[in-house]
Amino acid sequence: MKLTDLNRHGEIGANCIFLQLGSFNILIDSGLNPKKLGYDALPDFGPIENIDLDFIVLTHCHLDHLGSLPIVTAHNPKAPVITTAPNVTLAPRMLRNSINVMKRQREEHGIAEYPLFLHRDIAQLTQQLTIQRFERGEVYRKGKEQIEVILHPAGHVAGAAAVELIYQNRRIVFSGDVLFDAQRTLPGAHLPKGAIDTLILETTRGAKGRESGKTRASEVDRLIDQIGRILERGGSCLIPVFALGRMQELFKILYEARSFGRLPKCPIHAAGLGMAICEYFDKIRKQTQLIDFDIKILEKMDVRAIDLNMRPGRDLPRKGIYLVSSGMMVEHTPSYKIAASLLPHPNNGLCFVGYCDPDSPGGQLLENRDEASFFFDALDYLAPLRASIDQYDLSGHADRDELLEYAEQSEARAIVLTHGDQNARDWFYRELKRHLPDTKILDPKPLEAYEI
Ligand SMILES: [Zn+2]
Ligand SMILES: [Zn+2]
């Protein structure tokens, strides 16, 4: 097997792995790097430019896995894009939103190449989407060769799949983004057990172990207590969330907390793509039963749209809980704007519930939360930090010890590290070497072809 990581800047970036097994040319995911702009955000498609892909697998619909797929399908109009039923529903919606964001960025940053694809490319991609059920193998043939593809539930987010390829009795497993814990909206990962030839493993949380005694359930409890305290002192609570997945889970957490009398009634303000995704989740639940999210809870909770014409520094005109994207408080998003109004007022509170890249405004704010003020570049506003700022670990990724344990039981001949910052990959490299001394561990350099 030949493996080339097309994610040109390494780290988490624009996920895209090119595999060659016999005569099969296979691509797994094709993302956009959320920290880069323009062509620099794309994978480097150089190695597949003159190659006809036999098929593509889409693991899930976060943009770091999906965001550049329309460019690949435009060049490979015959290749099926194998994925799960929820992803077939979600992918076109996520991509349409991405076009809108790129059009806005074209104006703001003068990026001439934006948008990187058009609505007609999404239509083309949609035609190529091929639903495959979890845990049911499909065989693809080419000449005398054949390969079996099996998708396994990966937890993480609605529709997320791990990919198993069986070629000449070799099992190759690509973990994708994985969460073993169940979430309120979907069950945890169920990865293939037993001996694996090659394991391609995500390493997102490699840099830091889970603090002892902290579980997902105890973090949810801590979060609800803090929201309760903020409301009690007459403040508003901002929870920045990813539009796909985390927002819907938070709706369910708030709904259940209220049903059990653990939170007082108050308006919930929400906006943007995440609200549209709620409707898609409801549809997916009805069609597939793969997720658990009923849109009716939004009505029951009195969820309201937000007027985002607020002035930085002036407190939010309406009290309540603000559940808005982006999760990392990226510039120009609702969470960024709302934070600029919320933070100067001591009754208010901000609760982060997931990972924030250290370079993102959310990451910067967390690092400097003990300072007297925080500068909102995009608003040219220096905000005094008077509200409470806390972080809760409701990550969508398995912690490193769980992944290490999975890797160990696989007794893989080779393990390839992906989807992690360098220090995260380094931890896995070291620990895997120690636990599996006979296994070949590979932290692939971008664009280098490895024979495995
Ligand atoms: Zn993801
Ligand atoms: Zn990812």
Ligand with the closest atom to the CA of 29: 2
The pLDDT of residue 286 is 96
Per-range mean pLDDT, top range of 212-216, 330-334, 384-388: 384-388
Ligand nearest to the backbone CA of 203:
2
Percent of the chain with pLDDT over 70: 100
Ligand nearest to the CA of 12: 2
141-150, 158-167, 185-194, 306-315, range with the lowest pLDDT = 306-315
CA–centroid distance, residue 156 to ligand 2 (Å): 9
Q: Which listed ligand is nearest to 179 at the C-alpha?
A: 1
Pair of tokens at residue 346: 């001591």
User: pLDDT (tens digit, 9 = 90+) per residue, 219-260?
Assistant: 999 999 999 999 999 999 999 999 999 999 999 999 999 999
Work out the pLDDT band at 358, boundaries 50, 70, 90: confident
Contacts of 275 (CB under 8 A, 6+ apart): 305
Q: Output the pTM of the full model.
A: 0.95
On average, the pLDDT of the chain sits at 96
User: Distance from the CA of 217 to the center of ligand 2, in angstroms?
Assistant: 23
Q: In this predicted structure, what is the pLDDT of residue 308?
A: 84
What's the confidence (pLDDT) of residue 84?
A: 98
Residue 446 above 90 pLDDT?
Answer: yes
pLDDT digits (tens, 9 = 90+) for 77-109: 999 999 999 999 999 999 999 999 999 999 988
**Is the CATH code 3.40.50.300 the one for domain 216-391?**
no
Closest ligand to C-alpha of residue 31 is 2
The domains of the chain are located at 2-208+397-451, 216-391
CA of 226 to the centre of ligand 1 (A): 27
- Output 400-403 pairs: Cβ under 8 A, ≥24 positions apart: 400/203, 400/205, 400/206, 400/208, 400/209, 400/424, 400/427, 400/428, 400/431, 401/209, 401/210, 402/180, 403/175, 403/178, 403/201, 403/202, 403/203, 403/205, 403/428
Where helices occur in 243-355 by DSSP H, the ranges are 246-259, 273-288, 296-300, 334-342
Identify which ligand lies nearest to the alpha carbon of 33: 2
Spacing, Cα 179 to ligand 1 middle (Å): 10
The architecture of the domain spanning 2-208+397-451 is 4-Layer Sandwich (3.60)
Q: How far is the CA of 58 from the centre of ligand 2 (A)?
A: 12
Per-residue confidence (pLDDT) for residue 213, from 0 to 100: 87
Report which bound ligand comes closest to the CA of 34.
Answer: 2
Distance CA 86, CA 22 (A): 31
Do 2-208+397-451 and 216-391 agree at the fold level? no
Question: Is the pLDDT confidence value at 354 over 90?
Answer: no
Residue 60 CA: which ligand is closest?
1
Residue 178 neighbours by CB distance under 10 Å: 26
Alpha-carbon distance of 400 to 118, in angstroms, equals 38
What is the distance in A from the centroid of ligand 1 to the CA of 155? Answer: 10
pLDDT at 51 over 90: yes
Measure 249 CA to ligand 1 centroid, in angstroms.
Answer: 15
Say how many Å lie between the CA of residue 31 and the centre of ligand 2. Answer: 9
Cβ atoms of 396 and 177 within 8 Å: the answer is: yes
| pLDDT single digits (tens) 29-42 | 999 998 899 999 99
Q: What distance in angstroms lies between residue 8's CA and the mean position of ligand 2's atoms? A: 15
Dig out the tokens for 124 from the structure.
């083309």
* CA diameter of the chain: 71
> Residue 259: its pLDDT value, please?
95
